[in-house]
Structure 1
């Protein structure tokens, strides 16, 4: 018995030592960027499991150049420039793809894709998508609504190929994950949707509304467009065309209305970027930012009206209507950006972020988890500058900003 206990203690000591070495190695690794906000599931990638109200550097021991990031409900996926994938955060449905259901507080290489080159990634509430350079689509995580696209409602903790697209001899070009649905843009420019369609977010399938689609279905209403990009968040979908037109469908931005047919946002502007939230959308045109909808989770009241998100700042101007109650979408220019040229936008569930051409990061919206990076949990009606210099002296203008449901990540 004593020998067994001694052996057990020895193994525990070795495990603790190995964990300490890995921690030291990560701390000594290259700084990828900064993260803040909700962190209790490890989604900030810093190794801690707590909310952070100010930007905190996160590192990875292996020097990798990150080309893009995808942030979901409580997990993140990083894509390196050479096509490798790392994931971290919550994995209650296996959305990290590592073959288990263990949360990870630090970026971990996804070994499944050894031998593949990944070109696109997307993170939903608790499912993930990966597109190879040959147009094959793999997915993992929660499949309860058919959002993994393989004809069932099973979840999967390792990436599984969506056989539908290879069987149709089409290549997936772009992918977007919402809360319970997925959009795929293929090489013939058709948009497919699968998963929950309760709010019409998959689209008008075969002239009738289905509550869910377990196999990919073509989303009607975009036949006369050349779609260049697709977007999904919450129960809403969007598509951006080659001439800068924006189409949106799914849950309305206010009320209980829904619309399963893509509706064009009327504007003379050409949109270059789109970021969807749960109840709002942010769009970019010629360096200027516009907003549709509002933040439903904003807390009213407080010491200063300037620090509270009020409906008058972001009216629910875009309500996707029905045949009985049609309404046209409209835009409101985001205030407080005079003299700034914006080069990138991002949105989480109820907050947004932007990056200027001078390398400044600004955030606004819901702040309960510190996702605005301002050192508190206040909401903000107007964009506020995030001080990254306090986190590190390595800030350059070569930054990119991303938002999850209650957290924000900046990479360099």
Structure 2
């Protein structure tokens, strides 16, 4: 069954191979087909990602999961590939697919937002519906049970509500509604889905309102690992879940970095990137670094009603400091992304830089070494130029994808 599906996917992607070389690339872990290049191997340098012709110049967003990928086009079509062993690709089977495949179940709907967890996927439509598929063993599908599903299934809880944004962590899900309310469901052991009925509750399979925000307009939500975050319209960042700053996990959102007006956020498993006024900062730690990160500026992380102290409770917690990422050769950072323990950025010149954990070649630097400072990725002679269109970079757990739009 898996071979037949892979063959069908290969046929769909083969005709676009030459065109795809100028439009999309992938590198890093590939043993489940998540690189979308027709194979099941790791690659340490950027490889052509075989987008079908109908995707050329139309990919508006890419969500990377544990080993699967969701691509959303500008007109609301969805393509998935990679690991499908829990049904997270939404094709009605459990196959691994090494080429992007159109999700036919959603063909009569216009999808506006997608997200990928470790083994689950979500799709929000222009009418505010939420469809989920994949692993549901922690309740992360929000369907009131712990069953997995291999076809997108509408979440009943949100039928009378309007879903606008999604953000999935390893085994939990966040949803932002049009009415400015935020809901969480799935694994709850680190507080990542907000307050539960009891502190001993390990998971929640029905969406729960996270109502601890001050009177503000939430414009985006983020999740990765056991972390959750939200950004309001004034650029204030709220975090909850597994401790990213300080010693303790928290099931209530709290404001951090009040001195910064943040425009973009990218969460990893043990670190986060924040972009503010063109300057890039990191909080947390890379456990695979062999030395301290570079510091061209350091500021204490100040917070209301909480003390900022160095963590001692386990090796994966962070220091209560903010590290400024050094200037990238005078180029302006325009987009950021994070995998489990690696990071990527794109500059205004269309240049990709990566750093952090490199064991699977996810940094695209021809080796498997970790990197402490951002390093330029050579996408090749046919790589993107500013005049050709904009470039987006996206990270899965141990892989990276770059896609150019028209």
The normalised TM-score by structure 2 is: 0.88
Judged with a 3 Å threshold, the aligned counterparts in structure 2 of structure 1 residues 317 and 296 are, in CA distance, closer, same or farther, namely farther
Q: How far 1:339 sits from its partner (Å)? A: 1.8
Match of 1:356 in 2: 347
8 Å contact from structure 2 (residues 302, 308) kept in 1: no
Match of 1:149 in 2: 142
Cα distance in 2 for partners of 1:20, 1:38 equals 19
Match of 1:108 in 2: 101
Q: How far 1:225 sits from its partner (Å)? A: 2.1
Cα distance in 2 for partners of 1:16, 1:49 equals 11
Residue number among 382, 398, 405 corresponding to 1:406 in the alignment: 398
Judged with a 3 Å threshold, the aligned counterparts in structure 2 of structure 1 residues 316 and 150 are, in CA distance, closer, same or farther, namely farther
Q: Compute the RMSD of aligned alpha carbons.
A: 2.8
Q: How far 1:348 sits from its partner (Å)? A: 0.3
1:86 aligns with 2:83: no
Match of 2:172 in 1: 181
Question: Radius of gyration: which is bigger?
Answer: 1
Paired residue total: 387
Q: How far 1:253 sits from its partner (Å)? A: 2.8
Cα distance in 2 for partners of 1:206, 1:320 equals 27
Match of 2:15 in 1: 25
Q: How does 1:232-381 map to 2 (within 5 A)?
A: 232-253=223-244, 257-298=248-289, 300=290, 310-313=291-294, 330-337=321-328, 339-381=330-372
- 1:331 alignment partner, SS class: strand
Per-residue CA distance 1:213-258 (angstroms, 9 max, x = gap): 1100011311422111100000000000011000011111378731
Judged with a 3 Å threshold, the aligned counterparts in structure 2 of structure 1 residues 39 and 317 are, in CA distance, closer, same or farther, namely farther
Cα distance in 1 for partners of 2:269, 2:400 equals 16
Q: How far 1:15 sits from its partner (Å)? A: 11
Q: How far 1:78 sits from its partner (Å)? A: 0.4
Match of 1:51 in 2: 42
Q: How far 1:262 sits from its partner (Å)? A: 0.9
Match of 1:216 in 2: 207
The normalised TM-score by structure 1 is: 0.87
Q: How far 1:358 sits from its partner (Å)? A: 0.9
Q: How far 1:323 sits from its partner (Å)? A: 7.9
Cα distance in 1 for partners of 2:353, 2:274 equals 15
Judged with a 3 Å threshold, the aligned counterparts in structure 2 of structure 1 residues 111 and 225 are, in CA distance, closer, same or farther, namely same
Q: How far 1:268 sits from its partner (Å)? A: 1.9
Residue number among 115, 121, 127 corresponding to 1:134 in the alignment: 127
**Runs of 5+ unmatched residues, structure 1:** 1-11, 301-309
